[in-house]
Structure 1
Amino acid sequence: MRQFAQEVNRIGTERGTPLKYQQPSVSQWLKGQLPKESVRPLILEAFARRLRRPVTHAEAGFPSIASESQGRGDPNTVEEMIDLGSQDMSPSRRSILGASIFSAALTFPNWPEIVGRMESVQAGSTSRIGMPDVEMITKMTDHLYTLYDQFGGRHSRPMAATFLVNTVAPYLRADAPEGVRKAMMSAASYLCYLTGWMAVDEGLHGLAQSYYVKGLEFAGASADHMTYCHILRGMSVQAVDLGHGPAAVRLADAASAASPESGPRMNAFMAGQQAHSFAVAGDRVNALRSIRQAEKAMDMAESPLGTFGGYNPATLAYHVSQVRYALGDIPGSVESLQLHFRLRDPTDTQVSAMRFSSMLAERQLKMGHLEAACKTWNQVLDQYPAIHSGRVDEQVASIRALLGPYRSNSVAREIYERSLRAA
């Protein structure tokens, strides 16, 4: 019971609302006393993580809620996307969305279950769309990605949500030839994925999962197999970064198994994520096997980089670093992360550059290389004012705690004080 209370507290911390439940509270719950309504989702998630499957309110002995019954049957995907985006647009509702928690046992729609199926996207509106409208959605999505790339997700995500609700949703309900309708749903799928990725950047993990699932449903409706696999892989990235190794493996394996392409670059794209997931799950054998597969496939890759499967030697070096770190090889992880930066294209995302630089500094400090870590952090702080990212905020805030014990060193004290001013 003590361990269960600790798990509920841990999930509360993930959500941003730390709790202090102890064994007596669990004993009271077992005797029939209902936990607070706000705590029940945390308890269900704790059960789900232990059982590795979703647990309903009824199974836990809690009163049923309307949202569970609404989730049964064929989803009204467009309506749900509008509800989700509308809440995300509203500053007064964002705190509620932000309180939604990441589910390690989330069930996702399998490809055969959703391909070509979308009862909620029905023609009949008075308006009619064509391929130029699809191209406009695609170009706007590219523009939103550029904004995220340069500045982070804090400002770009509400813009993406507004675009989904006000422009994309009406187009999804418009009359159109079959080819145009499928192309529009495919474009909506990728935009949902991008919006979810931006939510991850802000630490809004439950919200991100909601966008990801909408993206999977639109991908199935449009028979866009590639986007479906790409979203599953993105969900694995989210899970592994949160430390949920088994969930990350499940999602990475599903993405790889469903991939419609088998070229070397795509194989490397999938195997690199599988390797990282296995490493975080503690499966050393499969982690090393998968990273070797990624390296071999990368050596054979001749296809040009693309939106999907745009895997390159720099990304591979990052995955090697993450595998080494998860398996306890900190010096090796630093070496591979430094290789990543040597191979990295100057046009790669600024947000990831900040995140990976912060990782490098933290690992340099763990190796005892204080001045090297301070030099790396100094570079992070140079770029920090232009970035609006929840994850980068957390990494910069951690500098104070990490350098606190070293303030007698003048270099460390300078970076420590600079991080205080930046917060």
Structure 2
Amino acid sequence: MKDSNTKLADWLNRSGWSRGELARRVKAKAAAWGYPHVSTDTSSVRRWITLGEVPREPVPAVLADIFSARFGYRVTTDDLGLGESPDIDRALTYSSSFAVTVEAVAELGRADVDRRTLLVGAPFAALAAVGPSRDWLLNQLDQQPEPGRHVRLEDVASVKNMFGAFQEMDIFQGGGSGRLALAAYMNEHVYPLLRRTDSDEVRHALCQAAAEQVYLLGWMAFDSGEHGTAQRYLVQALRFAEESKDPALGAHVLAGMADQATLLGHPEEGRRLAQSGRQGLGRTESNACLADLWTLEARALAVLGDKAATVKAIANAEHSFAKVDPEREPEWAKFIDPAYLGGEWANAFRDIDQPKHAEEHAHSSINHAKKQNRARRGAMSQAALAVTHLQRRDLEAAHAAGVRTIDLARRVKSSRCVEAVQDVQRRMIPFGKHPLVADFNERAHTLQAA
């Protein structure tokens, strides 16, 4: 007979919930994750506690998420006495051990390439970034790198060259195009290098290259709408960035985490992550990264409805970007350009109901994206433009911009483009059964079906 689970009993007691309340919350959360078959009841909770029974997946991960939300910090399945759930929890942990970090991200990569069901359906854990961002910032403030050092090693150069190729693929074809190929490349060529013992100089350089690649994996998963997978890659990218002693790279990872948090309905967390990135950036010169962090803080502030702070953050972003010297910026900052920033500023002004400014920035973004043949960015900025027309009650102009959004979205594998189209659809609802609305919905349905 198994022993009772005193850990789970203790967490439940501290929460103040009854067994019935916990059962209700598990059932509701599991259904929200897409597991309506989970039928937890009071008897189930009793068996977990008194008999030490371990429930089937995804219940352990659901319990961890529920208790994390209750206490305000990440609680793992191991904390609850339910054992490790590697595909779900391990890659959310910001380990002080470099060896553990390597194994966690390698395990994540294997699961990603194998398309394991639990990983594909892994949820975004809003509180998981609290510890990693705090630990990175504290360590960063204590260990500022020597300025001006550039490591150029042959084994690292090959990894960096591959990063450039995969980043181009993401920018022009969308995150769904090359992610599995990149994950396989990392599994075969990069993670084995990280397991070797080298000099500090080599390890720092290799960790920098690995952080860039792991971040890109996270971004590609983000663009494909697999937010649980994306979050896990980003947490591990942040740990590699710390090991590389590159504060700008770590701040860049936090920018990605901020973007994701705000997009998924956690703007307070998005704002905090962007602020942590700015603080950790310190005196390091990466005006592109600083502009991005101010931009993502503006996006969060706009969702929160703070109009004055949003406008100020955008002004700070513009000021930082005006000082960018492309020759001094890292390759990963290549995407932080007028096409990207203009689109994000347009969305921020859209969210604070200032369509005039939103339209100006949307047009700027669209023009730059068109020159570069960047369909994903063009689609997202066309969608922002469509919304500004809807805010002015100009359905005809909104329909035209919406159709351009769909045409561009067809050219890339990006769930964010599809979501942008869906957002325009939702905002057209007040116009009822107008023929232009019906036409747009039909075109959107064709895109989504494809």
User: Do both proteins adopt the same fold according to a TM-score greater than 0.5, normalized to the shorter chain?
Assistant: yes
Matches within 5 A, 1:145-164: 145-164=167-186
Judge which range, 175-184 or 157-166, deviates more.
Answer: 175-184
Are residues 183 and 336 of structure 1, via their aligned partners in 2, closer, same or farther at CA, if it must alter by over 3 Å?
same
Superposition deviation, residue 309 in structure 1:
4.9
1:96-245 equivalences under 5 Å are: 96-106=118-128, 107-108=131-132, 109-113=135-139, 131-174=153-196, 176-245=198-267
Deviating more after overlay: 324-333 vs 182-191: 324-333
Report the CA distance between 1:264 and its aligned residue. Answer: 5.1
Please tell me the residue identity of whatever aligns with 2:349. Answer: R
Report the CA distance shift for 1:294/1:64 in structure 2 as closer, same or farther (over 3 A): same
Is residue 250 of structure 1 aligned with residue 275 of structure 2?
no
Superposition deviation, residue 114 in structure 1: 8.0
Deviation at 1:410, TM superposition (A): 4.3
| 1:296 equivalent in structure 2 | 319
Q: In the alignment, is the contact (CA less than 8 A) between 2:382 and 2:402 conserved in 1?
A: yes
Matched, 1:287 2:314: no
Report the counterpart of residue 124 of structure 1 in structure 2: none
Q: What's the CA shift for 1:145? A: 1.4
* Partner in structure 2 of residue 66 of structure 1: 84
The residue aligned with 1:121 is none
Pairing 1:263-274 to 2, within 5 Å after superposition: 265-274=288-297
Partner amino acid, structure 1, of 2:65: E
- Deviation per CA, 1:139-178: give whole Å up to 9, x if none: 1111111122222222311111101100111222346554
- 1:265-313 superposed Cα distances (whole Å, 9 cap, x missing partner): 55433222222222323444433332232233344x1522633555444
- Give, as a single letter, the amino acid of the residue that structure 1 aligns with 2:380: R
Task: After TM superposition, give the deviation of residue 90 of structure 1 in Å.
Answer: 0.9
Q: Secondary structure at the match of 1:346?
A: helix
Q: Unpaired runs of 5+ in structure 1?
A: 118-129
Contact 2:345/2:361, CA 8 A, preserved across alignment: yes
Match of 1:327 in 2: 352
CA deviation string 1:226-262 (max 9, x = no partner): 2111111111111111121111112111100000425
- Tell me if the contact between 1:98 and 1:204 (Cα under 8 Å) persists in the aligned partners: yes
Question: SS at 1:110's partner residue?
Answer: helix
SS at match of 1:76: helix
The reply on whether 1:381 has 2:371 as its aligned counterpart is no
Aligned residue runs from structure 1 range 364-375, under 5 A: 364-375=389-400
In the alignment, the residues of structure 2 paired with residue 166 and residue 199 of structure 1 have an alpha-carbon distance, to the nearest angstrom, of 19
Does the C-alpha gap of structure 1 residues 270 and 44 become closer, same or farther in structure 2, counting only changes over 3 Å?
same
Query: Given the alignment, which residue of 301, 307, 324 partners 1:278?
Result: 301
Q: Tell me the equivalent position of 2:72.
A: 52
Instruction: Give the fraction of aligned pairs with identical amino acids, expressed as a percent.
Output: 24
Matched position secondary structure for 2:119:
helix
Paired AA for residue 231 in structure 2: Q
Letter in 1 for 2:218: G
Deviation at 1:396, TM superposition (A): 4.3
Match of residue 372, structure 2, among 347, 352, 355: 347
Change (3 A) 1:382 1:359: same
CA RMSD across the alignment? 3.9
Counterpart of 1:167, as a letter, is H
Q: Please state how far the C-alpha of 1:73 moved relative to its aligned partner.
A: 6.2
Q: Could you tell me whether the CA contact under 8 Å between 1:269 and 1:309 is conserved in 2? A: no
354-363 or 161-170, larger mean C-alpha shift: 354-363
Q: Deviations over 1:337-387 (max 9, x none)?
A: 234324546227432322332343345335432222221222233233331
Amino acid at match of 1:321: A
**Which of 88, 109, 114 matches 1:90?**
114
Q: For structure 2, list consecutive stretches of 5 or more residues without a partner in the other structure.
A: 1-16, 49-54, 144-151
State the partner residue of 1:41: 61
Contact kept in structure 2, 1:9 and 1:20, CA below 8 Å: no
CA contact (8 A) 1:115 1:223 kept: no
Q: 2:159 is paired with a residue of what secondary structure? A: helix
Please report the TM-score for the alignment, with normalisation by the length of structure 2.
0.75
Secondary structure of the residue aligned to 2:413 is: coil
SS of the residue 2:379 aligns to: helix
**Residue 77 of structure 1, aligned match among 101, 109, 113:** 101
For this pair of structures, how many residues does the alignment match? 400
The residue matched to 1:66 in structure 2 has which SS?
Answer: coil
Question: In 2, Cα distance between the equivalents of 1:170 and 1:198?
Answer: 22
> How far off its partner does 1:28 sit?
4.8
Deviation readout 1:159-210 (Å, 9 max, x if unpaired): 1110110011122234655433321221111000000000101111111111
Alpha-carbon distance in structure 2 between the residues aligned to 1:230 and 1:392: 22
The AA in structure 2 aligned to 1:145 is Q
Would you say the 8 A contact 1:314–1:339 is kept in 2? yes
1:110 maps to a residue whose letter is: W
Q: Verify the 8 A CA contact 2:379 2:406 in the aligned structure 1.
A: no
Provide the rounded CA distance (Å) in 2 between the counterparts of 1:393 and 1:309: 25
Secondary structure class of the residue paired with 1:146: helix
* 1:336 aligns to 2:361 (yes or no): yes
